[in-house]
């Protein structure tokens, strides 16, 4: 029984949240049962994801073929060709699965209290489970068209969730913006997939990677894939939708929108390294520099736009853009030196590890920061920093969680953001000292920005307007505390995290031949 469950864990990873999503309208009318149903099924989803990731890190990559008599048989019998939809789960996919599993669980716990007072919650949780299924599918699928489907599932459910509080016009606008940007991006991805399919009669990523000829059509397909994915992860100068959407969405949704943005970032890296990452065939360094340029722009513009903001969630959204810049920078350096074995060994691998480590760190501390902002909004009903103050007296746990998240995002030791930023600073300095200095300057500005937020929200005497404010409800506190503990834990044992999940993920991303061989066989 257990071995069967383990064998079909990739299918369960999608099946459980989909079952939860479609059953929710049927069983979710009763609030008590809905809560129980939500927490049980999200726990199962997260546990399945963590179990699957553990087995990948322990035993190596997994190929799971849907509909095949033997789910591990990638090639259709007699054809020697991967026909069916399959999941190809290597260490990079497993890393992303861990991120989604952790955040999905924390966000669900939090939302049970934060969003509990609203109507239509069976629809809310249906959409949340759909978004989780979409994100998990995006990072695990080995099929490009299947990726497009999951991208659409995550995008449409995200847009609907962003507009969940329909009594506020700005939320509907935010949802519409997210839907339009996602729709445009999805269309571009679909055209790119069509271009590749028309040439190679294949949709499987490994099959395409093995047969790609780097024709002009292929390069057009690359651009049509890479640019919308960069837009979806909030890279400057295509970041404009991010503050609009993140600020207006419910905080639990915003925290998970960060994760779906990171799933797009994963897809961008997968396209660059696995599908097109052949330095012998094209000058891949040009694309590496393109990603580095996006990263530097995102870091600097994001943080400088954050500082003057008065809306706490809008401010945090700009910081999300800025932090995405670090990830783009770290992994972009790896791509830029992909064809130079010495540079890759000297600093490229470390830079990639830093970038990937920053993905998981950012998901945790940024999720935490959005949840603390949501807890404050839940109690005082405003996101305007000018109308806050003195909340440290009445919301001490929220304040402590905020401090952990703020110090982590600013890269202050010993919190988790410091370890990943240190890897990025030192390796990027070897690549280009000027860029490393910009990265450090951005961290200083990030600290300055969060000092302002901390002072405005929590410091000062009790404000007359907020005299009756109490600490956030317990499920919200548990959700925040879970992430705060991880912020500290990942900061205290960075070596264990890097050696056990980050470096294998970076190696998997670099091992294009290994990814192809996992599906098609061979050495």
Partner 1 sequence: MDVTTTLETGYGAWSPLVWLAAFAVTMVIALLIRSTGESRYKKDSNQTKPFISGNEAPQDAYHIRAGNLYWGYLEALKGYYQKLVPLHTGIMTDYVLWMFGVVAIMLLIGLSI
Question: H or E stretch including 134?
Answer: helix 121-140
- Give the shortest CB-387-to-partner 1 separation in angstroms: 8
Up-side HSE of residue 223: CA atoms within 13 Å toward CB? 6
- Give the shortest CB-230-to-partner 1 separation in angstroms: 8
The DSSP bridge partners found for residue 89 are 62
**Piece of 69-77, 157-165, 335-343, 498-506 that binds partner 1 (CB under 8 A):** 498-506
Using CB under 8 A as the binding rule, whether residue 50 contacts partner 1 is answered as no
Count of chain residues binding partner 1 (CB under 8 A): 70
Closer by beta carbon to partner 1, 161 or else 305: 305
Closest listed residue to residue 304, CA positions, set 437, 442, 412, 452: 442
Q: Between the CA atoms of 211, 216, 218 and 221, what dihedral angle is there, to the nearest 10 degrees? A: -170
Using CB under 8 A as the binding rule, whether residue 223 contacts partner 1 is answered as yes
Using CB under 8 A as the binding rule, whether residue 448 contacts partner 1 is answered as yes
Using CB under 8 A as the binding rule, whether residue 307 contacts partner 1 is answered as yes
Using CB under 8 A as the binding rule, whether residue 444 contacts partner 1 is answered as no
- Give the shortest CB-386-to-partner 1 separation in angstroms: 5
The only residue of 20, 24, 224, 480 in contact with partner 1, by rule CB under 8 A: 224
**Piece of 17-25, 224-232, 325-333, 375-383 that binds partner 1 (CB under 8 A):** 224-232
Lookup result for tokens 């780097």:
214
Using CB under 8 A as the binding rule, whether residue 230 contacts partner 1 is answered as yes
Closer by beta carbon to partner 1, 138 or else 230: 230
Whether the Cβ atoms of residue 199 and residue 212 lie closer than 8 Å to each other: no
Residue 499 has which token pair? Answer: 């050696």
**Piece of 11-19, 71-79, 278-286, 360-368 that binds partner 1 (CB under 8 A):** 278-286
Lookup result for tokens 């069967």:
4
Q: Is 325 helix (H, G, I), strand (E, B) or coil?
A: helix
Using CB under 8 A as the binding rule, whether residue 238 contacts partner 1 is answered as yes
Q: CA 314, CA 298: separation in Å to the nearest integer?
A: 15
Question: H or E stretch including 492?
Answer: helix 474-492
The only residue of 40, 76, 286, 341 in contact with partner 1, by rule CB under 8 A: 286
Using CB under 8 A as the binding rule, whether residue 335 contacts partner 1 is answered as no
Q: CA 304, CA 446: separation in Å to the nearest integer?
A: 9
Using CB under 8 A as the binding rule, whether residue 91 contacts partner 1 is answered as no
Phi/psi at 62 (5° precision): -120, 135
Lookup result for tokens 């890393």:
95
Closer by beta carbon to partner 1, 100 or else 423: 423
DSSP classification of residue 141:
B
Using CB under 8 A as the binding rule, whether residue 407 contacts partner 1 is answered as no
Closest listed residue to residue 55, CA positions, set 86, 1, 97, 99: 97
Phi/psi at 493 (5° precision): -125, 55
The DSSP bridge partners found for residue 64 are 87
Using CB under 8 A as the binding rule, whether residue 493 contacts partner 1 is answered as yes
Q: CA 520, CA 173: separation in Å to the nearest integer?
A: 46
Using CB under 8 A as the binding rule, whether residue 250 contacts partner 1 is answered as no
- Give the shortest CB-140-to-partner 1 separation in angstroms: 26
Write out the binding residues for partner 1, residues 376-405 only, by CB under 8 A. Answer: 385-386, 388-390
Closer by beta carbon to partner 1, 231 or else 356: 231
Whether the Cβ atoms of residue 383 and residue 312 lie closer than 8 Å to each other: yes
Closer by beta carbon to partner 1, 157 or else 182: 182
Using CB under 8 A as the binding rule, whether residue 141 contacts partner 1 is answered as no
Write out the binding residues for partner 1, residues 175-204 only, by CB under 8 A. Answer: 176-177, 180-181, 184-185, 188
The DSSP bridge partners found for residue 86 are 65
Using CB under 8 A as the binding rule, whether residue 129 contacts partner 1 is answered as no
Is omega for the bond preceding 237 within 30 degrees of 0, making it cis? yes
Using CB under 8 A as the binding rule, whether residue 427 contacts partner 1 is answered as yes
Q: Measured on CA atoms in the order 396, 476, 360, 276, is the torsion positive or negative?
A: negative
Write out the binding residues for partner 1, residues 341-360 only, by CB under 8 A. Answer: 346-347, 350
Q: What is the CA radius of gyration of the chain?
A: 22
Lookup result for tokens 């890097």:
498
The only residue of 31, 414, 467, 522 in contact with partner 1, by rule CB under 8 A: 414
Closer by beta carbon to partner 1, 46 or else 446: 446
The only residue of 15, 459, 485, 517 in contact with partner 1, by rule CB under 8 A: 459
Residue 509 has which token pair? Answer: 């991303």
Closest listed residue to residue 57, CA positions, set 496, 521, 520: 496
- Give the shortest CB-294-to-partner 1 separation in angstroms: 9
Chain residues binding partner 1 by CB under 8 A are 176-177, 180-181, 184-185, 188, 216, 219-220, 222-224, 226-228, 230-231, 237-238, 240-241, 243-244, 282-283, 286, 290, 301, 304-305, 307-308, 310, 346-347, 350, 385-386, 388-390, 413-414, 418-419, 422-423, 426-427, 429-430, 448, 452-453, 455-456, 459-461, 463, 491-496, 498-500
């Amino acid at each position: 029984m257990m071995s069967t469950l383990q064998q079909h864990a990739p299918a369960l990873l999608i099946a459980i949240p989909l079952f939860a999503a479609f059953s929710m309208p049927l069983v979710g009318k009763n609030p008590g049962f809905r809560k129980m149903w939500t927490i049980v099924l999200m726990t199962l989803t997260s546990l399945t994801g963590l179990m699957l990731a553990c087995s990948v890190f322990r035993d190596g990559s997994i190929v799971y073929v849907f509909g095949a008599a033997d789910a591990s048989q990638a090639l259709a019998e007699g054809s020697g060709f991967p026909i069916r939809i399959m999941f190809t789960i290597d260490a990079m996919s497993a890393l992303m699965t861990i991120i989604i599993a952790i955040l999905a669980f924390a966000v669900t716990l939090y939302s049970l209290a934060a969003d509990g007072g609203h109507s239509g919650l069976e629809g809310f949780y249906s959409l949340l489970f759909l978004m989780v299924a979409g994100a998990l599918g995006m990072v695990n699928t080995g099929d490009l068209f299947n990726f497009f489907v999951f991208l659409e599932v995550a995008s449409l459910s995200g847009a609907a969730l962003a507009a969940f509080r329909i009594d506020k016009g700005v939320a509907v606008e935010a949802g519409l913006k997210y839907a339009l940007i996602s729709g445009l991006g999805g269309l571009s991805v679909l055209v790119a997939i069509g271009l590749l399919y028309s040439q190679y009669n294949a949709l499987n990523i490994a099959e395409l990677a093995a047969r790609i000829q780097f024709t002009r059509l292929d390069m057009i397909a690359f651009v049509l894939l890479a640019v919308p994915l960069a837009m979806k992860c909030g890279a400057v100068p295509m970041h404009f939708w991010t503050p609009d959407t993140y600020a207006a969405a419910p905080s639990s949704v915003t925290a998970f929108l960060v994760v779906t943005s990171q799933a797009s970032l994963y897809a961008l890296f997968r396209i660059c390294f696995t599908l097109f990452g052949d330095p012998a065939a094209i000058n891949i360094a040009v694309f590496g520099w393109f990603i580095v340029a996006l990263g530097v722009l995102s870091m600097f513009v994001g943080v400088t736009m954050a500082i003057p903001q008065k809306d706490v969630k809008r401010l945090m959204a700009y910081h999300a853009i800025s932090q995405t810049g670090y990830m783009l920078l770290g992994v972009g350096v790896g791509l830029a030196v992909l064809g130079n074995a010495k540079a890759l060994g000297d600093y490229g691998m470390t830079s990639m590890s830093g970038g990937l480590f920053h993905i998981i760190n950012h998901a945790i501390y940024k999720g935490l920061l959005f949840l603390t902002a949501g807890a404050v909004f839940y109690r005082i009903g405003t996101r305007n920093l000018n109308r806050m103050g003195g909340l440290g007296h009445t919301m001490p746990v929220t304040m402590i969680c905020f401090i952990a998240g703020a110090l982590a995002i600013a890269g202050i030791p010993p919190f988790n953001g410091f370890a990943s930023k240190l890897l990025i600073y030192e390796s990027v300095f070897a690549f280009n000292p000027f860029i490393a200095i910009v990265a450090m300057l951005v961290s200083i500005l990030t600290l300055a920005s969060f000092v302002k937020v901390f002072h405005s929200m929590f410091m000062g005497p009790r404000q007359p307007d907020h005299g009756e404010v109490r600490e956030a409800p317990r499920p919200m506190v548990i959700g925040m505390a879970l992430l705060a503990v991880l912020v500290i834990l990942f900061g205290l044992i960075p070596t264990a995290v890097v050696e056990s999940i980050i470096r294998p993920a970076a190696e998997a991303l670099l091992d294009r031949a290994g990814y192809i061989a996992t599906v098609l066989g061979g050495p």
